[in-house]
Each structure stands twice: as C-alpha cells, then as structure tokens.
Amino acid sequence: MKALRYVEIGKPPVVVDIPIPKPGPGQVLLKVTAGGVCHSDDYVMGLPEKDYLEQSYPLPLTLGHEGAGIVHEIGEGVDSTLKVGDAVAVYGPWGCGRCHNCSQGAENYCTNAAAEGIRPPGLGSQGSMAEYMIVDDARHLVPLGDLDPVQNVSLTDAGLTPYHAIKRSLPKLGAGTFAVVIGTGGLGHVGIQILKAISGATVIALDVNDAKLELATEVGADHALISDASAAEKIREITGGLGANAVFDFVGANPTMALAQSVAALDSDVTIVGIGGGMMSLGFGTIAFDAAVRIPYWGSRSELIEVLDLARAGKIHVQTETYSLDDGPKAYEDLASNSIRGRAVIVP
C-alpha cells in the first residue's frame, strides 16, 4: 500500500510503498477514506533531531491524526458491534481506557498514556495518511453514518479541539457577551461556527490574512479584523470598552497571546489552543481580575459524537482542499506557506 511518511529528520515527508498491516488482537484495520492535514504534523516534523528522539517519535512515521475509513478487518477478541464495511471516524487521543479520565471518555487527558507509551495516530503511532491504518481499539472509532468522510474527517481534530475549548467557556457566553477568535484557518473557522451554533456571543474574528477573514465572515463572524497593532483598541470599541468574555487563540504565538491577554474582560476565559510557541507572563495587574487562562488538548470521545451531530444537523462544516496521496507532500508545502483556505484533506 502507499503511505505518506516522515522518514528522515529535517526532510519533507515522502510517499512510499509498505505492506498492508495485519490487525492484532483487539485491533481494527481500516481502509482509509480520508486523512486531514494539520499544523501539529508540521510541528513534529519541525523538531530538531535531539528533541524528536527525546520525545520518542518513531522513524519512519506515517502521518495523519485525523482519520476516517471503512472497517476492513477486525482483529481477534474485539468486543464491539463493529462490522466489516462500517463507515467510521477515528477518535485520535488514544488512552489506556482504564484510568479515571478514560473511564469518562476523556482519553485526551489519560494519566497513564505517557508511562505506557500510548501515542495518537500520526503523532507517535502510525497514522491515517495511507491506504490502510491500524486502530488500536474499537472504542476509538465513532460511526460516521451518512456523513461524507472527506468533508468531515477534519472534525476529529479541527472540530473536536475548538468544541472542547468553547464548551468549557459556555457559562460565560450567554446573550450580550463577546467572544474573540484569533486565527481563522483550519481550527478557527470551525470554532466560529461552533460559537454561533451553541452560544449567544457576538463573535469577533482576527487574522493577518484577508482571505481567511473573508472565510470568517462567510461562516458567521459578526466582526472580522486584521490582527495588527490597532486590533486591541478596535475590540475594546466593539465591546463598549469592557473586553471579551472569552478569547480563543488558535495561533498561540507571542503576539497573539499578548493580544488575548490585553483584551480579556473581567471574569473572562483566555484559551490558548494554537501551538505557535508563544509564552504568557501572568501576575497581579497583568490581566483582568478573575480571568482564567486555559491550555486545552483535543477533546473527549463523547464530544466528538456531539461535533459530528452538529455537522449532521448542518450547523458546522469544514472548508476543505483535497489532495491525492501522491500529492501529500504538496499539501504540507501549501500548509507551511499558509495558502490553504480552511483544511487540507488527503484522499487515498
């Protein structure tokens, strides 16, 4: 089978031919229908050799932590209602299944995963950028039903991650409130739709790219601003001088985190989702009183089901650009150049 793999540190990924894997006990083999491209992949491939090896990433590594497919073969001992031919989405943050958090479906916060060497697909385990992939346990598969896998595969991260972040802040986002979304690309443009679907907030979207701000407006942002030196003042004007009740930073760089900190209202939430390498210094007087700063990670399995239900109801969708598996390296080039409007999806 063909697979898009990271095979040499510091070099672009390449398409190679490898054997179709065989599912072991408890595992499921999927025939992949779609795999999403994400900045997290770029982050891993951008690590210096020392950091890459210290964090125990394997070489070669099949990319892709957003996956969808058809159940092709079920390993021995799988206790599930799954059947060969079922269309499914892959829940990516794999955990042990036994700890307190996993027992609640929050495997994204598994307390045993690191010690037991359990890694997400494409971020430690072999991922979805291939014609077939192994899923370690049937509980990590969620029914897709009649949802188009290509249009919806990115919801497994680009939908689940903002949904998890926003859901935590819903008590602060009733009618008359304001939510700021910084970065309106792959995750941000879905985050805007989630805010409009489940909160009462007025949404203020920011980006440095006019095309992405146009997308933000298309998907429901009430205000779209260039993220520059005047952005904080404009947000204060829109919010009547009070600031935002919640700020969601989907970039996570130093300038965006500073902006988020500066426009947070009293008793607000500041949520840093992006992995842009920024840092925030906090102390008395550096942020509004009673503001909370969060750094969430992915989301729970039940939240993924809720995200797919939102898509099924027509409340959210992902703007996608599709690439063949052979063109997978080009997808990562386009991601690095910031030229993708929405989310790139690899279709084997």
Phi, psi angles (nearest 5°) of residue 50: -60, -45
Digit-coded pLDDT (tens) for 106-118: 999 999 999 999 9
Mean residue pLDDT of the chain comes to: 96
Digit-coded pLDDT (tens) for 74-86: 999 997 789 999 9
Say if residue 235's pLDDT is above 90: yes
d(CA 290, CA 93): 31
Of all residues in the chain, what percent carry a pLDDT higher than 90? Answer: 92
Question: For residue 341, what pLDDT is reported?
Answer: 85
d(CA 137, CA 336): 32
Say if residue 284's pLDDT is above 90: yes
pTM for the complete prediction? Answer: 0.95
Mean pLDDT calculated for residue range 239-243:
97
Indicate the pLDDT class of residue 290, thresholds 50, 70 and 90.
very high
Question: For residue 17, what pLDDT is reported?
Answer: 97
Digit-coded pLDDT (tens) for 40-55: 998 899 999 999 999 8
Mean pLDDT calculated for residue range 308-315:
97
Question: For residue 231, what pLDDT is reported?
Answer: 97
Question: For residue 342, what pLDDT is reported?
Answer: 86
d(CA 237, CA 18): 57
Say if residue 301's pLDDT is above 90: yes
Question: For residue 132, what pLDDT is reported?
Answer: 98
Question: Worst-scoring range by mean pLDDT, 27-31, 51-55, 116-120, 196-200?
Answer: 51-55
